[in-house]
Amino acid sequence: MKKELRVAAYAVCVRDGEILLARWVDRDGRKRWTLPGGGMDHGEHPVETAVREVEEETGYVAEPTVLLGIDSIRRGWLRRLGTPGDWQGLRIIYEARITGGELRNEQDGSTDLAAWHPLDSVPRLERVELVDVGLQLWRDRPPVGRSPRTDPGNG
């Protein structure tokens, strides 16, 4: 069984009752809102990853201010030849504030749109579960950086 680990960093940017989200486009063309962020390059610090990804996906310059937590997800998958794989995603989530730049959409990336959304509208958005994880961490600020989940099998 092939094992794969992906480490990524994300930012929860909330101001004036709104959260900054990027719309992710999956391989099948489905579009869902997510936190700005993404995979860490080799040798890159997670703070640098979060700053780089926010700029790439939204046009904004962000300053991480607090480490909110670390989330881990695990998924099984079938590889091309039908053999099973075991994928784990380690997601480092920061609170960040916008310090510059201008809102724009990513070009030739994994997202196609960036926008501010009122916090109370988030439950009605088509979104990935990372948005809920990030908001829960932002609200709860758990001392060990992990919020309890209703689905323990998801990470």
Kindly report, residue by residue over 121-150, the tens digit of the pLDDT: 999 999 999 999 999 999 999 999 987 654
Arithmetic mean of pLDDT, 6-20? 98
The one-letter amino acid code at 143 reads: P
Model pTM greater than 0.85? Answer: yes
Closest CA to 97 of 33, 34, 36, 22: 36
Question: Is the confidence at residue 93, as pLDDT, over 80?
Answer: yes
Rounded CA separation 10/64 (Å): 10
Asked if 95 and 18 touch (Cβ cutoff 8 Å), the reply is: no
Give the model's pLDDT for residue 153. 43
Kindly report, residue by residue over 47-77, the tens digit of the pLDDT: 999 999 999 999 999 999 999 999 999 988 7
Rounded CA separation 65/56 (Å): 19
